[in-house]
Amino acid sequence: MSDHVEGALRTPVGDTDHSLGAATAPVTLVEYGDYQCPHCYRAHPIITAARKKLGAKLRFVFRNFPLAEVHPNAMHAAEAAESVGAHAGAEAFWAMHDAIYKHQQDSDDALDDEHLVRYAAKAGADPKAVQHDLDGEAFESRVRTDFMSGLRSGVNGTPTFFINGMRFDGDWANIGIFVSALEAAATSK
């Protein structure tokens, strides 16, 4: 008998994940996202609003799922965010995460290395260290680990969400539906 459940998160949330909120929160929302994806860009403020609405009831986890064939800057954007987190800590990672989404639509080159290094400096990381990491692909394996965990969980596009370990196939773009699903998960635990 297989332990595979269709729509289940195959790689549990762990210490190496980027998360906001307490591990004891009744709801864990995992997003597999791509920093260059326009749908992830649209989802970013919805997730922020959901986090505010649910407060301490929600833990949010972000995992990298760069669709590099479609979004050529997505891989380096993910690597830059990982570099910032490694050099400057969790708060800096989230500042970089937010900065990338804030600027994603600014211009065609908004996520090139020059801009990523600039965002990294504003997030509190040493820009030379981040550039060095990008040049050497220092965090490529970390990003690929996230990506592979997504593939094992059936992720094939971005954003893909899991609520308490189960894939959410509802309308995430409708904040009412999305928050209702999160609130239902909080009360059922």
Residue range 78-105: mean pLDDT, rounded: 97
> Helix or strand or coil: residue 132?
helix
Determine the 3-state secondary structure of 160 from DSSP. strand
Residue 4: pLDDT over 70: no
Q: What is the pLDDT of residues 139-176, one digit of tens each?
A: 999 999 999 999 999 999 999 999 999 999 999 999 99
Query: Before 26, cis peptide (omega within 30)?
Result: no
Tell me the whole-structure pTM to 2 decimals.
0.95
Q: Average pLDDT for residues 2-23, to the nearest whole number?
A: 86
Residues present in the chain in total = 189
Query: What does pLDDT average to over the chain?
Result: 95
- Phi/psi-derived region of residue 171, left when phi > 0, alpha when psi is between -120 and 50, beta in every other case: beta
Structural domains of the chain sorted by starting position, each given as residue range(s) with its CATH number in brackets = 18-188 (3.40.30.10)
- Report the run of H or E that residue 31 belongs to, with start and end: strand 27-33
Cβ atoms of 77 and 100 within 8 Å: the answer is yes
At 188, is the pLDDT very low, low, confident or very high (cuts 50, 70, 90)? Answer: confident
Kindly give, in sequence order, each residue whose CB lies less than 8 Å from that of residue 189, ignoring residues fewer than 6 positions away.
26, 27, 164
Written as one string, the DSSP assignment of 42-101 is: HHHHHHHHHHHHHGGGEEEEEEE---TTT-TTHHHHHHHHHHHHHHH-HHHHHHHHHHHH
